[in-house]
Amino acid sequence: MTVGNTMYTVVYLVAILAFFYFMLIRPQKKKSKELDEMRNSLKIGDTVVTIGGINGKVTKILDEEVVIKSGDVKLTMSKWGIGSIETDDKNDAIEE
């Protein structure tokens, strides 16, 4: 193996690693950070959807748990189980 071939191999491997970092790892970290920020910004009265598809309203917030009311049932669940916060725009559109 010559020095030129070795250099091309190293450059090729670095290019592959850079591709995986910028196309897979970095976007996943960004999305994870956004989800953590969303879950930490929960407040009482927010309408949420869990990752299991349950819709409810936040009634109590503990350190790592949230109590939501869905219908006549109160559910205590981990914060990581909250998939999204519903915006008022969606709720207004449904009521009209």
Tens-digit pLDDT profile for residues 15-74: 999 999 999 999 999 999 999 999 999 999 999 999 999 999 999 999 899 999 999 999
Q: How confident is the model at residue 96 (pLDDT cuts 50, 70, 90)?
A: very low
- CA angle 67–37–42, rounded 5-degree value: 30
Continuous segment of H or E residues that includes residue 70: strand 65-70
Contact (Cβ atoms closer than 8 angstroms) between residue 15 and residue 30 = no
Q: Token match 């071939």: residue?
A: 5
pTM over 0.75: no
Provide the token pair at 60. 């109590």
CB half-sphere exposure, 73, CA atoms < 13 A: 7
